[in-house]
Amino acid sequence: MRSPLRRRLGTAAALLAALGLTGLMGPAAQADTPATPRFTDGFGLTRVGDAEVRSSTDFTITVTTPHVAGPHKIRVFLPSGYAAHPEKRWPVTYFLHGGGGSVDDAAAAPALRSDKMITVVPDGGLKGWYANWLMQNTAAGKADWQTFHLEQVVPFIDANLRTVPDRAHRAVTGVSMGGSGALHYAQARPDLFGHTASLSGGIDFAMAEVRAAVLATELNLAGAWCAVSSSSSTSGSGTCTGYGPYVDSDAIFGSPYPVFGADRLWNAYDPAAPANLSKLAHTEVTLYTGDRGVIDANTARAAATVKARLDRLGIPSRLVDYADGASLSPRCDGGHNYGCWAAAFADYVPRLEAAFAAAATN
């Protein structure tokens, strides 16, 4: 004979299973643990360990993949109404963090915690550059980041969360290194992403300064872009945690020198290349940058180049060069930091939400 308590627990477990939720049942100590969606392995991803649960709408899972060495985190922000409306599907925005950063950097931009969309933050590595590396036998190990994100994480999320799985309801955004990755991913897979935003991105690979930044991450040189591109610093005064193990300077894209076509992989990836920009003909493109400091002085140049080329191609886009930051936020100094990027996302996310809503009515 089952006790009333055991019957109630069994009923609650059945209800959670019906809703696709987990986390409330188990030992008595877990009775007040917030519920999080159940994730099933697939698309080459295998769940490992327990979820890091901050709330029912903010949690991190860890996965392994044969395409990138080591375990990797995926942080998820759900709309507050996700569990209460099990029949509803939601647009998705992917946020790509900067060099030396992590999935937790997204917490520095409160606008990404939207009640009108799901935000997914996959690990991009300390120096992954959102690319499939030329060299796979470095100290960093297997490093097919693009395959991991586009061929595994995106379908994995669509299979496990109630998304609207089409390009009109999917965006890819990023800051710094992630800004480059966001524009590149939108070009590599226009079938997946209908919206892209690059914030202070290293998006012109023809610039020697951008190539130097990539080389600095490979060689783990201090004082490069990660010094202010993680959420540990909102004003640019934080300490860089580094880029992980030293790897060959040709590890990601091969030789950076434009001699006899040696830099062909740099050119093939280059988000500013007209051939790549032409793939954004049906994508909503937004660029944000300041122009203060050594880094954003260069990202401003890169953004202006991309904007001019998009204009020549007849592809609509929006460039916000907020210069010293005065027009954006009192916390923005026009530099390469979350004091500016949080305010840029506060401007961008409502526009993206409106575009998602408009797509739903068409």
Domains of the chain: 1-33 (no CATH), 39-361 (3.40.50.1820)
For 312-354, the pLDDT digits (tens) are: 999 999 999 999 999 999 999 999 999 999 999 999 999 999 9
**What's the pLDDT at 360?**
81
Predicted pLDDT of residue 240: 59
In degrees, rounded to 5, the angle at the alpha carbon of residue 222 between the alpha carbons of residues 221 and 223 is: 120
Nearest to 20 by CA among 39, 34, 48, 46: 39
Q: How far are the Cα atoms of 43, 155, 170, 311, 351 from residue 165, in angstroms, in the given order?
A: 15, 9, 7, 30, 20
**Stretches in the chain below the pLDDT threshold 50:** 1-33, 227, 233-238
Contact assessment for residue 207 and residue 297, using Cβ atoms and an 8 Å cutoff: no
C-alpha span between 182 and 62 (Å, rounded): 22
Is the distance from CB of 72 to CB of 64 less than 8 angstroms? yes
In this structure, what DSSP letter does residue 35 have? P
pLDDT at 25: 30
What is the spatial distance between Cα 300 and Cα 304, in angstroms, rounded to a whole number?
Answer: 6
Say what the pLDDT of residue 345 is. 98
